[in-house]
Amino acid sequence: MQIKQLLGGLSVEVFLRDYWQKRPLLVRNAIPGFKDLIEPRALFALTGQEDITARMVREDQGGWDLLHGPFMRRDFPSSKSSVVWTVLVQELNHHLRSAEDLLQQFDFIPHARLDDLMVSYAVPGGGVGPHFDSYDVFLLQGRGQRRWQISAQTDLSLVDGLPLKILQHFMPEQEWVLSTGDMLYLPPCYAHNGIAVDECMTYSVGFRAPSAQEIATQFLIYLQDRLQLSGIYQDPDLQAQAHPAQISEPMLTQVEHMIQQLTWTRADIADFLGRYLTEPKAHVYFNPPDDMPDFGEFCQLVVKQGIRLAPQSRMLFHENQFYLNGEPVTINEPGLLELADRRANDGRELSRVYLQWLYESMGDGFVVWDKE
């Protein structure tokens, strides 16, 4: 797929300079001939799995309601019901190779920022209501049509007491009907409302942007595990106090000095980021293969079948240190760069050390065969 086509004729540089995190971009025919990655029936079946994050939003005269998966057949309103509904499935890229491939098309944004591919299915009139998201999003239209209304409004107050975020005063400024293959990019906090014109599916490429509070909290946890401070509280010059309950100034000064020993370097921050940004989310787990070959067989198969990261795996690097799923990689071999950037190795000209590492990683379920 052509990136220029995907971005409506813009180069990545121009898109990043003029649109990314700044203003919406509508791209007609971003992916010519786009075909849904999954049929609605198969999607509904997927929502029954324990390892799927699925939500259902229903709307009727009684208002909005939100249900969390897994969903059984009986949870889906019947076609005769007057309820308007939509079902949303997060991390489709963990479950479908085609979804992972689609997400990869967006890697003109760094992997550290890319999050997941969500898909929604809606009956005519369905949607999640007028809202805003804290993250950038590319909304790619699958089957059917969806009317998108958007607004640059700064009033982002929400209706109280609802199970989902609905804007109190949505004032649409622009509106388009998107057809299959069309795409809308929205920067963070841009008010929007997508209403299914007919039975429709929409794919959302989502990003991650941790808050300063979240980063600092996680960094303090990281530091705590590595703290090596010297000294113990001592007071050979202790003076008699008028009030035994008082915390004295010398005590405060000594503790202040102790805490000032807490320092860190840019290298600590890089190490923290590598671990933190590749840490799998809490609900994600890996599936080691049932039929693990022995190492000799593995080395032969790798040439034919190639290797790729498991869809759930996250891999990043800084300078020459690589990180995979929350841990630093203990080797430094040329194949790692390709594996991190392209999420695959073609399996040729790999050193024994690297093959050994891949073999162990396959045993952990972190890498899989590229071609089965």
> Which tokens is 303 given?
């040439």
Distance between CA atoms of residues 141 and 134, nearest Å: 21
Our CB check for ligand SIN shows the closer of 94 and 192 to be 192
Q: Which of 65, 133, 268, 364 contacts Co ion by CB under 5 A?
A: 133
Find out whether 132 and 168 touch, Cβ atoms under 8 Å: no
Q: What part of residues 57-96 is at the interface with ligand SIN (CB under 6 A)?
A: 86
Taking the least distance from each CB to ligand SIN, the nearer of 137 and 329 is 137
141 binds, among ligand SIN, Co ion, none (CB under 5 to 8 A by kind): none
Which of 38, 43, 52, 137 binds ligand SIN (CB under 6 A)? It is 137
Distance of CA 305 to the CA centre of its chain: 28
Of 38, 46, 128, 167, the one binding ligand SIN (CB under 6 A) is 128
Nearer to ligand SIN, 120 or 312 (CB): 120
Residues 174-233 that bind ligand SIN (CB under 6 A): 192, 194, 202, 204
**In the complex, minimum distance from the CB of residue 14 to ligand SIN, in angstroms, rounded to a whole number:** 25
For the record, the structure tokens of 321 come out as 């240190």
Binding region for ligand SIN (CB under 6 A) out of 126-134, 152-160, 226-234, 354-362? 126-134
Least distance in angstroms from the C-beta of 164 to Co ion = 11
**Closest distance between Co ion and the C-beta of residue 151, in Å?**
13
Question: Would you count residue 133 as binding ligand SIN (CB under 6 A)?
Answer: yes
Q: Does 268 bind Co ion (CB under 5 A)?
A: no
Prior bond to 163 cis, omega within 30? no
Tell me the pairing of strands 183-186 and 137-141.
antiparallel
Per CB under 6 A, does 130 bind ligand SIN?
Answer: no
Whichever of 202 and 313 has its CB closer to ligand SIN, that residue is 202
In sequence order, which residues have a C-beta less than 8 Å from that of residue 194 and are 6 or more positions away?
A: 127, 128, 139, 146, 147, 148, 149, 202
What letter does residue 348 receive in the DSSP assignment? S
Residue 286 tokens read as 């890996």
DSSP string, 252-304: HHHHHHHHHT----HHHHHHHHHHHHHPPPTT------SSPPPHHHHHHHHHH
Between the CA of residue 155 and those of 152, 167, 168, 173, 335, what are the distances in Å? 9, 9, 9, 13, 49
- Opening angle at CA 266, ends 265 and 271, nearest 5: 100
Binding-site size for ligand SIN (CB under 6 A) equals 10
Partner whose footprint covers residue 93, from ligand SIN, Co ion, none (CB < 5 to 8 Å by kind): none
Give the separation between CA 7 and CA 195, rounded to whole angstroms: 23
Residue 151 Cβ, how far from ligand SIN at the closest point, in Å?
13
Partner that binds at residue 120, options ligand SIN, Co ion, none, CB closer than 5 to 8 Å by kind = ligand SIN
Binding mask 91-120 for ligand SIN (x = CB under 6 A): -----------------------------x
| Tokens at 134, concatenated | 């804290």
Instruction: Provide, rounded to whole angstroms, the least separation between the CB of residue 36 and ligand SIN.
Output: 13
Q: Which residues bind Co ion (CB under 5 A)?
A: 133
Q: Which residues are at the interface with ligand SIN (CB under 6 A)?
A: 86, 120, 127-128, 133, 137, 192, 194, 202, 204
